[in-house]
Structure formats: C-alpha cells, structure tokens
C-alpha cells in the first residue's frame, strides 16, 4: 500500500519501554490516531493513518490521515483551510495507537462545523435496557455553517 | 457475540446531528474508545468496547472494555485496583468512536505503571527517510512498579 517503511516491531520490552518508534499497522496497514488540542488536551477527532500518511505528517508538520471512505491520503484542512499544525506525536505502551497534539488553524476540526467531533454527550440516565433513555445532549456550540466550510 | 442491542443506525442526518445514541460496531462487533482524565482532558488510554462492555460500563459506572487479546470482558482495574469511574461518555460526529471522561482511581491507567499509556513522544527531528531519527523520548514519570500493580 505504501513504500514508506518504519522500524520493524521487535521485542515486547523494546516496544513498550524502549526508545525506538515501532508502530503497529494493522492488517489493512492502518494505525488509529487520536488528535488533541495541544493547549487544552481536548480530543478533537479520531482517524486512521497508514505509513504514507504518517511520513507525510512528519515531513509537512501538518496532520495527514488516511481516508478509508475515499481510499486516499487526507491532508486535513486542504479543502476547509482548517489545517492542524503538529506540535507533538506520542505513542502508547504497545505502539499500536498514535496521539497527535495539534494547533488547529481556524479552530474547527469537525466537518459539521464544531471545534471537536465529540460535541454530544450521552445522557446520565442512559440505561442499556431502555432504548428510549439512550439520548445524546449537545455539549458544544457550532462555530460555522458546514456549507461555508466546504465552498466548492 | 452479545445480547445487548443498541439503537440501530438510521440516517446520516440523525447519526451526525440527532440526539439518539446509534453506535457503530464494526464487523467484529467493536467500537474504538478513547479514555481521558475528566479534570485535565489528558488521554489516558485507548481500547475497544463491544455492546456488552458498553452496557456493563453504563450499568456499573466503571469503564469496561473488550479485551481482544484475551477475548473477554475487561473490567478495568479488577486486578490492579485502578478502576476508572465514568463521569461522561461522548460520541463523535459519525458515532463510530466513544470518548470516556473518567476519574482514575489510583491514578495509574497503564499496565506499565504510568498515569497514561502515552508516556513517550517522538523526537522533533524524526525524519521518515532516516530510521535512526525515529526515536521516542519519555515524557512521563513511572508512578509504580508494574510488579506491584499486579500482585497475583
């Protein structure tokens, strides 16, 4: 899928407590990526990267994902202008997840016009045996009309 | 895999801008879950849930995941005591990711003895064409010896 090669996985000790990046790409060549605001830690979005998009992110300094729906590299903000400048990249203990800390240019990371994709919270009364109780409440304000975000 | 049923997926408009929880479980019955500290927003860990673990989380108020490696329900902290009390559950625009805000009892969410699983940061000089540059730096302090965390 990609000609970019990251260091191979080695021992559990090296992966979990070592100092070499050895990311685990799954059978589809993808690794989950959590993106947060570098100042507030707020989770902005969740997406996937492949080796090519990780390499592109490192080279450009701008968050670049792999769009599974479109099957292509997704340079965040290339249409909307809401580019994410990467301030830090972390990985987790078993190196099968990435965490990006970004400066969100424009302040809108969600295609629906919100700062974060996580703009709805499950009701505190949610009961799995009562479908009617499984309600979401909006906990964020829409910052821009999506129609203005993508003005192609 | 599970007898717990959440509301079925409906229209894109309802999924993205509606008020009914309609989580997307993938072909394996799983949904990614990001867990953060409810006070600081720091990302503590990333795991998967299935319908059963989401139902268990809602009923118990304690974060419960699905362990893919062990193929069973994973009540976080049942061995280590580091239970995560759920303060809020959010979902993203297309409802295929969950975000938990938790109070981490004991303050250690990583099995390696760190507050967060994301205790290593990629070097700012990382260059995808230079494998030797792909180095991780520890950015957190280990809080407890893992041997003391799991004293079975």
Tens digit of each residue's pLDDT (9 = 90 or more) over A93-108: 999 999 999 999 999 9
Residue A38 has pLDDT above 90, yes or no: yes
Confirm or deny that B94 is annotated as ligand binding: yes
> How many structural domains does chain A have?
1
Q: Which of B97, B116, B135 to mutate to test the interface with A (most CBs of A within 10 A)?
A: B97
Average pLDDT of span A56-64: 97
What's the ipTM? 0.95
**Most distant CA pair in chain A: distance in Å?**
49
In three-state form (DSSP H/G/I as H, E/B as E, the rest C), the secondary structure along chain A is CCCCCCCCCCCHHHHHHCCECCCCCCCCCCEEEEEEECCCCCEEEEEEECHHHHHHHHHHCECEEEECCCCEEEECCCCCCCCEEEEEEEECCCCCCEEEEEEECCCCCCCCCCCCCCCEEECCCCECCEHHHCEEEECCCCCCCHHHHCCC
- Whether the pLDDT of residue A6 is over 70: the answer is yes
On whether residue B23 sits in a domain, the answer given is yes
Which of B41, B55, B58 has its CB closest to that of A42? B41
Sign of the four-CA dihedral B117, A69, A84, B136: positive
Residues of B whose CB is below 8 A from A126: 21, 58, 89
The answer to whether residue B150 sits within a structural domain is no
Q: Could you say which residues from 50 to 109 on chain A have a Cβ atom under 8 Å away from some Cβ of chain B?
A: 54-55, 58-59, 88-93, 97, 99
**Which tokens hold the place of B151?**
């004293």
- Which residues span the domain enclosing A33? 12-111
Chain B residues with beta carbon closer than 8 angstroms to that of A89: 121-122, 126
Chain A contact for B43 (CB, 8 A cutoff): yes
Domain presence at residue B136: no
Confidence of residue B127 (pLDDT cuts 50, 70, 90): very high
Residue A137 lies in a domain: no
pTM equals 0.96
Q: Tell me, yes or no, whether B123 lies in a domain.
A: no
pLDDT at res. B147: 87
CATH number for the domain harbouring residue B17: 3.10.20.810
Question: Is B122 within a domain?
Answer: no
For A61-90, letters b (16+ CB in 10 Å) and e give ebbbbbeeeeeebbbbbeebebbbebeebb
Could you read off the pLDDT of A104-143 as tens digits, one per residue?
Answer: 999 999 999 999 999 999 999 999 999 999 999 999 999 9
| CB-based burial label for B8 (10 Å; 0-12, 13-18, 19+) | exposed
């Amino acid at each position: 899928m990609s000609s970019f090669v990251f260091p191979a996985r080695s021992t559990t000790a090296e992966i979990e407590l070592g100092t070499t990046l050895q990311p685990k790409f799954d059978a589809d060549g993808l690794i989950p990526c959590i993106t947060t605001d570098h100042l507030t830690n707020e989770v902005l979005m969740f997406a996937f990267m492949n080796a090519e998009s990780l390499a592109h992110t490192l080279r450009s300094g701008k968050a670049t994902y792999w769009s599974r729906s479109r099957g292509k590299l997704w340079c965040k903000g290339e249409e909307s202008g809401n580019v994410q400048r990467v301030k830090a990249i972390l990985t987790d203990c078993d190196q099968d997840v990435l965490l990006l800390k970004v400066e969100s240019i424009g302040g809108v990371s969600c295609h629906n016009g919100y700062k974060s994709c996580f703009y709805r919270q499950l009701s505190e009364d949610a009961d799995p045996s009562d479908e009617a109780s499984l309600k979401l409440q909006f906990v964020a304000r829409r910052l821009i009309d999506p129609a203005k975000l993508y003005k192609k």
